[in-house]
Chains A and B, each alone.
Chain A
């Protein structure tokens, strides 16, 4: 080894062969790591890149052959068309309303149900738990009709409640919350009981803070599911002023031919803020994990 550093390394490692081995593997491991992460990262991001590029390319570029990676010039025309054709602010409002209410309810109900399933023993406990879990095993395409008929009788069709109906609670939420409550030491719960706290208060003030990360993770997953839910809103909504974003975007698709320009613009408009919100909230999610994560 020619360099001074190399010589020092050699001398030191001659005395501790194991350490030298670890150093080298750690370094080359890091390089491999970086390459792998980069490669997969490119694959992950490639479709988004294309989505954004198409949204900004003039039509001739989109239909050009051979295809163009980089638009010849940036056109706002697709975005203009998208905004002009569809009231995106309205869609946002609706999607947000639906998402917030359904996630709020799901987490709240899930919290209490998860606590009950985890902490208590009561008759038919397993039956109810399995019943809840099995609701996700039957495809929605077939249950949607029966659900719609029910809602029609309740006059909930084409209303906010109609969209929310199947989404007030989540089986996934109950499951995950139950699992994480099981790791809460009963000593804490017992102590709170001895102090005279009601069960409700225990759930909200003792247990919930301890499973913050789970609640955050569940909230995020449920929020995304609600935001991207397509099939049910498309069936349950008729009026323009109740449309959620996926329903709105689907209207850009023509039976004869997919017009990618405006469609991609619409998709960017709907996904963009979500991504940005996600990037921002990342920090807090990480903090949350870091603070509460190191529990034995």
Chain B
């Protein structure tokens, strides 16, 4: 009996020691949420399950990458946060960040790491990362959306225009559009000169009009870096001219139309000659959907010759919620995936634009024509303001644009109304 008791004791002892060792080595599990989709270029790498293997091994953790439907993702995030069931890493649309910041649910990047990052990346990435005085709330993803004018070179040739030169001013844009649009026997437009975006989410409408808005001297909010305060400036002569320009193109020139809902689709299908939107869409989709399309990309046109061009930038964004329990590890993982080496590796793999100055100097980025075209455009890019009321501002402006182009309101009235609503949103958000 004594011996069997002893054996039991030994077994128990070993078992408990083994158990102790196991708990000491217990794996931390991190979850990363990202939006699903084939084209979301910046998220393409999440479908590779071995993405974090090295990191997982070194840090004894497991990173679970969970895709969610983009349309309902924000609702899901908020509900999860309220329920206390928070993911550790969020990969979201950067334009959602002001909303999150307003509710104080994003963790700031540790100051030292922020400083290092800001020193090593391209200026447009600095623009997207800096939330005021070097403070960062996350890391913008490679392959940023920069908006530019893309055009069909063959259509240009056909109309007698230089296929390598995009229209530089608004007047030229209007002229080109008239020359490029095609009408059939009964007067229906079969091809628009410039395709415009006027339906769908108001934010999208604004994004694709910012070239005109900013070039016209409008401001979504004065002081774009500040989280609170400032005013919306919509009612400037330049903005009015821009809105009126498109309005005239629709109803007077009839060189564009409301019947071509998605400008990117329209260009790819050959029923539009020009459009202004994120260039990455055409770059990613043309090979599959329009393999014979010869297209050019350039900065959008300015109000008058000699004006400084301006365009908008946006990106996807890595961030860490404040309520997660694994902050340090989460930041480590984000920094791992956004290191200079990974940046190079992934950008090369997915044909995308890198962020580090050092990587831009290397091939293939150095010599790729699309990337080189972008390099010329990026310095003129502006990020959306950081103001906590951004959602309200965009919505007000988007509605105004839609109303004008749908002939539901006059330019002055619509802009004044939108400005009032936007200022209201700014005040609300500052509370």
Check if A65 sits within 8 Å of B268, measured CB to CB: no
Instruction: Tell me whether A231 is interfacial, beta carbon within 8 Å.
Output: yes
Instruction: Tell me whether B20 is interfacial, beta carbon within 8 Å.
Output: no
Q: Which of B24-71 contact A (CB under 8 A)?
A: 31, 35-40, 66-71
CA distance A259 to B262 in the complex (A): 13
Q: Which of B64-85 contact A (CB under 8 A)?
A: 66-72, 75-76, 78-80, 82-85
Instruction: Tell me whether A59 is interfacial, beta carbon within 8 Å.
Output: yes
Check if A148 sits within 8 Å of B39, measured CB to CB: no
Q: What sequence of 0s and 1s flags, for each residue 133-152 of chain A, a beta carbon within 8 Å of any chain B beta carbon?
A: 00000000000110011011
For chains A and B in complex, what number of residue pairs have CB atoms within 8 angstroms?
A: 87
CA distance A152 to B285 in the complex (A): 41
Neighbour of A251 across the interface among B69, B75, B268, B289, CB < 8 A: B69
Stretch in A29-37, A46-54, A208-216, A232-240 touching the partner: A232-240
Check if B82 sits within 8 Å of A255, measured CB to CB: no
Instruction: Tell me whether B288 is interfacial, beta carbon within 8 Å.
Output: yes
Instruction: Tell me whether A56 is interfacial, beta carbon within 8 Å.
Output: no
Residues of B within 8 A of A251 (CB): 36-37, 67-69
Nearest CB in chain B to that of A246: its residue: B69
CA distance A184 to B85 in the complex (A): 49
Q: What sequence of 0s and 1s flags, for each residue 234-261 of chain A, a beta carbon within 8 Å of any chain B beta carbon?
A: 1100111000000100111111110100
**A151-B83 contact, Cβ under 8 Å, with A59-B289, A65-B270, A235-B72:** yes
Instruction: Tell me whether A63 is interfacial, beta carbon within 8 Å.
Output: yes
Instruction: Tell me whether A157 is interfacial, beta carbon within 8 Å.
Output: yes
Instruction: Tell me whether B107 is interfacial, beta carbon within 8 Å.
Output: no
Check if A235 sits within 8 Å of B75, measured CB to CB: yes
Neighbour of A250 across the interface among B71, B93, B265, B289, CB < 8 A: B71
Nearest Cβ in chain B — how far from A149, in angstroms? 5
Neighbour of A157 across the interface among B72, B83, B269, CB < 8 A: B83
Residues of A within 8 A of B31 (CB): 238
Check if B85 sits within 8 Å of A152, measured CB to CB: yes
Q: Which of B225-282 contact A (CB under 8 A)?
A: 262, 264-265, 268-271, 278, 281
Residues of B within 8 A of A145 (CB): 78-79, 82
Residues of B within 8 A of A247 (CB): 69
Residues of A within 8 A of B285 (CB): 257
Nearest Cβ in chain A — how far from B198, in angstroms? 17
Residues of B within 8 A of A238 (CB): 31, 66
Check if A239 sits within 8 Å of B66, measured CB to CB: yes
Interface centre among A65, A145, A255 (most CB of B within 10 A): A255
CA distance A151 to B76 in the complex (A): 14
Residues of A within 8 A of B69 (CB): 234, 247, 250-251, 253
Residues of B within 8 A of A253 (CB): 36-37, 69-71
Nearest Cβ in chain B — how far from A81, in angstroms? 9
Nearest Cβ in chain A — how far from B315, in angstroms? 13
CA distance A254 to B35 in the complex (A): 8
Check if B35 sits within 8 Å of A149, measured CB to CB: no
Neighbour of A257 across the interface among B35, B39, B71, B85, CB < 8 A: B39
Nearest CB in chain B to that of A62: its residue: B289
Check if B79 sits within 8 Å of A144, measured CB to CB: yes
Nearest Cβ in chain B — how far from A16, in angstroms? 56
Q: What sequence of 0s and 1s flags, for each residue 278-303 of chain B, a beta carbon within 8 Å of any chain A beta carbon?
A: 10010001001110000000000000
- The interface of chain A, by Cβ under 8 A from chain B, is 59, 63-65, 144-145, 148-149, 151-152, 157-158, 231, 234-235, 238-240, 247, 250-257, 259, 262
Given contacts A59-B288, A151-B83, 15 further A-B contacts (CB under 8 A): A63-B265, A64-B269, A148-B83, A149-B83, A231-B72, A234-B68, A234-B76, A235-B75, A250-B69, A250-B71, A250-B72, A254-B39, A255-B93, A256-B278, A257-B39
Give 23 CB contacts A-B under 8 Å: A63-B290, A65-B270, A65-B271, A144-B79, A145-B78, A145-B79, A145-B82, A148-B79, A157-B85, A234-B69, A234-B72, A234-B76, A235-B72, A235-B75, A239-B66, A251-B69, A253-B37, A253-B70, A254-B40, A255-B70, A255-B71, A257-B265, A257-B281
